[in-house]
């Protein structure tokens, strides 16, 4: 199956330039169960490294019975190891095949929100903290949705793939979810290689991001490759599409070093922010405002 033949429901048309969350319907094995069910979660992300496009966090879930008996036979693996057509086939199966009883939720963190959080003058929110917040919100909200239709549901485990320190992440999660709420919290590097439910989340995250980036490129007529800084097409796009005042549109992560270097190496206007002027120079009078250098403009009221 070619990727262009299937638009995943996790990406609105057109793809938003703001952060959003999308939820699947609850699988019938949970929704229609007349007895308490036991659920397992898997969480993975796609798009941590690129300078272009969103970072997508996906949570996949199913009953413990389905995870033990059916899921290992469904060819899920870390989405980066699957061929592109196979990823899209599996995503379509998750969405459309009744026998694949997997639910999901995704949070797509926009480039703009990622950058604004990282470029604050104070109370900076780094990428790991943004990832943790997205994960916690996904778990909490999906638990609430499931409990709303099946109050006696038990949550056996959440398996999370991480690139950061697993121990500190686990400790942080336990502050939000007690053992009574979620029996096991397993945070591991390469968890998508070990737990099929994490592999399913990996597929959802990767397909969601790929489709979002592809559609965004088509809308603006861009040829920007994968979005990773090492991709020659991405480099060429970043370096050849800089507006002297505005840089790029909101598909670009301005907090990335690649973006900063490209701006510094171009003829872009040197922006001075209000907090910088106050901190370093104090407030200027009216005459001082008109004596700015030709290559400097003050930008204080145009961003939040």
Q: Give me 18's structure tokens.
A: 């703001």
pLDDT of residue 76: 84
- Phi and psi torsions of 32, nearest 5°: -100, 10
Q: Which residues are CB-contacts of 249 (< 8 A; sequence separation ≥ 6)?
A: 17, 220
Q: Are 121 and 275 in contact (CB under 8 A)?
A: yes
pLDDT of residue 48: 96
pLDDT of residue 246: 83
pLDDT of residue 6: 84
> Dihedral sign, CA of 37, 108, 199, 181?
negative
3-state secondary structure of 297: strand
Could you tell me the pLDDT band of residue 259, with boundaries at 50, 70 and 90? very high
Could you tell me the pLDDT band of residue 62, with boundaries at 50, 70 and 90? very high
Q: Mean pLDDT over residues 171-179, rounded? A: 97
Q: Which residues are annotated as a binding site for a divalent metal cation?
A: 44-45, 161
pLDDT of residue 237: 96
Residue 304 has pLDDT above 90, yes or no: no
Residue 222 has pLDDT above 60, yes or no: yes
Q: What is the mean pLDDT of the chain?
A: 88
Could you tell me the pLDDT band of residue 87, with boundaries at 50, 70 and 90? very high
Residue 212 has pLDDT above 80, yes or no: yes
Least confident range of 100-109, 184-193, 241-250: 241-250
pLDDT of residue 277: 57
pTM over cut 0.75: yes
Residue 45 has pLDDT above 50, yes or no: yes
Look up residue 16 and give its DSSP letter. P
CATH topology of domain 3-217: Nucleotidyltransferase; domain 5 (3.30.420)
Which of 76-85, 113-122, 195-204, 272-281 has the highest mean predicted lDDT (pLDDT)? 195-204
Residue 31 has pLDDT above 60, yes or no: yes
- Phi and psi torsions of 153, nearest 5°: -60, 140
Q: Which residues of the chain does CATH 3.30.420.10 include?
A: 3-217
Entry field: residues in the chain = 304
């Amino acid at each position: 199956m070619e990727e262009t033949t299937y638009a995943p429901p996790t990406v609105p048309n057109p793809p938003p330039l703001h952060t959003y969350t999308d939820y699947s319907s609850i699988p019938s094995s949970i929704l229609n169960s007349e007895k308490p069910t036991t659920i397992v979660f898997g969480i993975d992300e796609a798009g941590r490294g690129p300078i272009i496009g969103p970072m997508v966090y996906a949570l996949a879930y199913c009953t413990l019975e389905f995870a033990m008996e059916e899921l290992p036979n469904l060819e899920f693996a870390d989405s980066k190891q699957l061929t592109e057509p196979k990823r899209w086939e599996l995503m379509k199966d998750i969405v459309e095949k009744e026998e694949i009883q997997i639910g999901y939720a995704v949070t797509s963190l926009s480039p703009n929100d990622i950058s604004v959080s990282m470029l604050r003058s104070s109370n900076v929110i780094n990428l790991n903290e943004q990832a943790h917040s997205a994960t916690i919100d996904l778990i909490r909200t999906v638990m609430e949705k499931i409990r709303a239709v099946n109050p006696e549901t038990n949550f056996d485990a959440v398996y999370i793939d991480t690139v950061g320190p697993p121990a500190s992440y686990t400790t942080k999660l336990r502050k939000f979810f007690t053992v009574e709420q979620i029996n096991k919290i397993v945070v591991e590097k390469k968890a998508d290689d070990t737990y099929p439910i994490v592999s399913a989340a990996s597929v959802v995250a990767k397909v969601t991001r790929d489709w979002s980036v592809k559609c965004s490129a088509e809308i603006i007529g861009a040829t920007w490759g994968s979005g990773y800084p090492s991709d020659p097409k991405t480099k060429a796009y970043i370096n050849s599409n800089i507006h002297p005042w505005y840089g790029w549109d909101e598909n670009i992560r301005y907090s990335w070093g690649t973006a900063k270097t490209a701006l510094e190496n171009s003829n872009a206007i040197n922006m001075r922010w209000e907090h910088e002027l106050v901190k370093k120079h104090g407030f200027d009078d009216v005459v001082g405002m008109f004596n700015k250098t030709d290559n400097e403009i003050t930008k204080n009221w145009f961003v939040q």
